[in-house]
């Protein structure tokens, strides 16, 4: 099978872990008789340096024409002083909107080998942490009108949070369908006691749940959810929520697993062309040091194989290899523990390749 993959290497230390991920994909292609062709795409700080634009239309078009996109993290202090519409992160928003990627799924799963790295008490961790946050990705306050003006001699800023029924319904369906493939429970997170957008969200979700009588459903306010994620994460299966809430909660969830360097993510729309990326940042402080953990990006590639290419066996192969490397006691600096062997970015990828 031949697949065209758009590769955004990103900024900071991102090119290092993207490079290692491509090595893993090449090994999978060799083992299973596939051909993966890579198209280089500039986005974020890299694109700003080359074109003065965080995602030029020509680069976005390369992504649209691909079978999937592997994305390294973007941004860094080098571009922090730029105006908002010129910052690297603007390219990420443009990519999501331009490809119609309205759904982001971030698993929060603790690898048993890393359970000691979780900041939670062992009694909580032993109950199990294995849930997915399904985040609406192209609506809400991040995509609303943003305006700053001077009123009565002082600056006033305004950010609009907007949602329509169809935006809520389509992300809700993804949550219910995902739950059917897992443990049949959906927790819808909102702030319906305060926000009109959340009251509409809850109305649509209540209508939708009638179509899925086999899936247990509950509403939860976002502040309570933030507390429950650290108090009793085992209660969750699929959490579905709007853009900003999902952004915050998914980062919180990643930290209870012990290492943000182990968490992949997928962003999908109506078709199978998706964007796959680690949820962590570009770690510019580690650039060029061979220290960054490549496993979140490698596991993102496994998600790409599974969800965009229907290559379940190949995805399982990568995930088993990562688990075996952890079983053998190999770690990167971000998740080291007593008795383990700490390896660099390239060396730990070598170990993963040995297991495939």
Residue 80 to residues 9, 77, 85, 89, 168, Cα–Cα distance (Å): 19, 5, 12, 10, 33
Residue 335 contacts residue 262 (beta carbons within 8 Å): yes
Cβ-proximal residues to 249 (8 Å cutoff; 6+ apart), any chain = 133, 189, 222, 225, 226, 229, 239, 241
Give the Cα separation of 217 and 224 in Å (integer): 16
Q: Which residues are catalytic?
A: 142, 191, 223, 247, 251
Residue 309 contacts residue 1 (beta carbons within 8 Å): yes
Query: Residue 206 half-sphere exposure, CB side, CA atoms within 13 Å?
Result: 10
Residue 85 contacts residue 48 (beta carbons within 8 Å): no
Which SS3 state, helix, strand or coil, does residue 304 take? helix
Give the Cα separation of 18 and 276 in Å (integer): 11
Give strand pairing partners of 40: 7
Q: What is the largest CA-CA distance in the chain?
A: 68
Query: Residue 187 half-sphere exposure, CB side, CA atoms within 13 Å?
Result: 22
Tell me how far apart the terminal alpha carbons of the chain are, to the nearest angstrom.
19
Task: Give the DSSP H or E segment for 171.
Answer: helix 165-180
Residues counted in the chain: 356
């Amino acid at each position: 099978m031949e697949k065209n993959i758009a590769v955004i290497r990103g900024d900071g230390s991102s090119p290092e872990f993207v490079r290692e991920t491509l090595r893993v994909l090449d090994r999978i292609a060799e083992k299973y008789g596939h051909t993966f062709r890579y198209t280089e795409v500039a986005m974020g700080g890299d694109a700003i340096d080359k074109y003065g634009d965080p995602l030029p239309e020509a680069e976005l078009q390369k992504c649209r024409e691909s079978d999937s996109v592997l994305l390294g993290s973007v941004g860094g202090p080098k571009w922090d002083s730029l105006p908002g519409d010129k910052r690297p992160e603007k390219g990420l928003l443009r990519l999501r909107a331009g490809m119609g990627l309205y759904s982001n799924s971030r698993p929060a799963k603790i690898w048993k080998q890393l359970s000691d790295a979780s900041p939670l008490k062992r009694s909580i961790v032993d109950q199990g942490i294995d849930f997915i946050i399904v985040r609406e990705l192209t609506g809400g306050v991040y995509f609303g009108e943003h305006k700053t003006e001077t009123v009565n001699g002082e600056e006033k800023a305004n950010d609009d949070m907007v949602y329509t029924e169809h935006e809520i319904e389509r992300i809700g369906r993804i949550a219910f369908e995902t739950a059917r493939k897992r443990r049949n429970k959906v927790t819808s997170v909102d702030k319906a006691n305060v926000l009109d957008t959340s009251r509409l969200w809850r109305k649509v979700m209540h209508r939708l749940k009638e179509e899925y009588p086999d899936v247990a459903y509950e509403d939860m306010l976002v502040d309570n959810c933030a507390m429950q994620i650290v108090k009793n994460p085992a209660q969750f299966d699929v959490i579905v929520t709007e853009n900003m809430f999902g952004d915050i909660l998914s980062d919180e969830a990643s930290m209870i697993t012990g290492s943000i360097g182990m968490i992949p993510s997928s962003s999908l729309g109506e078709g199978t062309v998706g964007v796959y990326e680690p949820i962590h940042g570009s770690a510019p402080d580690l650039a060029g040091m061979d220290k960054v953990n490549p496993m979140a990006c490698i596991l993102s590639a496994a998600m790409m194989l599974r969800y965009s290419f229907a290559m379940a066996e190949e995805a399982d192969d990568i995930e088993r290899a990562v688990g075996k490397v952890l079983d053998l006691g190999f770690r990167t600096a971000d998740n080291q523990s007593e008795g383990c062997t700490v390896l660099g970015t390239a060396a730990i990828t070598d170990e993963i390749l040995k297991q495939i």
